[in-house]
Amino acid sequence: MGLKADFSAELPAWRERVNKLVKENSDVVVDQVTVGQVYGGMRSVKGLVTDISYVDPNEGIRFRGFTIPEVLDMLPKPAGSQMPYVGGLYYLLLIGEVPTEEQAMDVENEWKKRAEIPDFVFDVLKSLPRDSHPMMMFSTAILALHHGSIFAWRYQEGMTRDEYWQPMLEDSLNLTAKLPSLAAYIYSLKYGKGEFIQPKTDLDWGANFAYMMGNPSQEYIDLSRLYFILHSDHESGNASAHATHLAASTLSDIYFAFSAGLNSLAGPLHGLANQEALRWLLGIHEEFNGVPSKDELYQYAWEKLNSGQVIPGYGHAVLRKPDPRFTAQFNYAQDHMPEDEIFQIAHLVYDVVPQVLIEQGKAKNPAPNVDAISGTLQYHYGIQEFEFYTVMFGVGRALGVSSNAVWSRALGQPLERPKSLTTAMLEDFAHKAK
Ligand code: NMX
Ligand code: MLT
**pLDDT tens across 353-408, in order?**
999 999 999 999 999 999 999 999 999 999 999 999 999 999 999 999 999 999 99
Whether the per-residue pLDDT at 9 is higher than 70: the answer is yes
User: 231, 234, 245, 270: which one is catalytic?
Assistant: 270
Instruction: Give 62's strand partners.
Output: 54
User: 222, 234, 371, 380: which one is catalytic?
Assistant: 371
Gap between the Cα atoms of 274 and 260, Å rounded: 19
Site to probe by mutation for ligand 2, drawn from 229, 369, 390, 397 as the one with most ligand atoms within 8 Å of Cβ, is 369
The CA–CA distances, whole Å, from 220 to 31, 214, 389 equal 44, 10, 15
Q: 208: part of which helix (H) or strand (E)?
A: helix 205-212
Site to probe by mutation for ligand 2, drawn from 52, 316, 374, 397 as the one with most ligand atoms within 8 Å of Cβ, is 316
User: Is the distance from the beta carbon of residue 374 to the nearest atom of ligand 2 less than 6 Å?
Assistant: no
Name the nearest CA neighbour of 205 among 360, 72, 88. 88
Q: pLDDT for 62-106, tens place per residue? A: 999 999 999 999 999 999 999 999 999 999 999 999 999 999 999
- Shortest-distance atom of ligand 2 to CA 370: 5
Distance from the CA of 118 to the center of ligand 1, in angstroms? 40
Distance from the CA of 312 to the center of ligand 1, in angstroms? 8
Q: pLDDT for 321-355, tens place per residue? A: 999 999 999 999 999 999 999 999 999 999 999 99
33: pLDDT confidence band, cut at 50, 70 and 90? very high
Task: Examine the residue annotation and report whether 270 is marked as an active-site residue of this protein.
Answer: yes
Whether the Cβ atoms of residue 147 and residue 175 lie closer than 8 Å to each other: no
Whether the per-residue pLDDT at 1 is higher than 70: the answer is no
- Predicted confidence at residue 194, as pLDDT, reads 87
pLDDT, mean of residues 160-188:
98
Distance from the CA of 233 to the center of ligand 2, in angstroms? 8
The pTM of the full predicted model, rounded to 2 decimals, is 0.97
Gap between the Cα atoms of 92 and 107, Å rounded: 11
Helix (H, G, I), strand (E, B) or coil at 390: helix
Instruction: Give 56's strand partners.
Output: 60
Distance from the CA of 310 to the center of ligand 1, in angstroms? 7
Nearest ligand by distance to the CA of 367: 1
CB burial of residue 49 (10 Å; 0-12, 13-18, 19+)? middle
Q: Strand 53-56 vs strand 60-63: parallel, antiparallel, or unpaired?
A: antiparallel
Integer Rg of the chain from CA = 22
Name the nearest CA neighbour of 226 among 335, 373, 68, 109. 68
C-alpha 275, offset from chain centre:
15
Distance from the CA of 53 to the center of ligand 2, in angstroms? 12
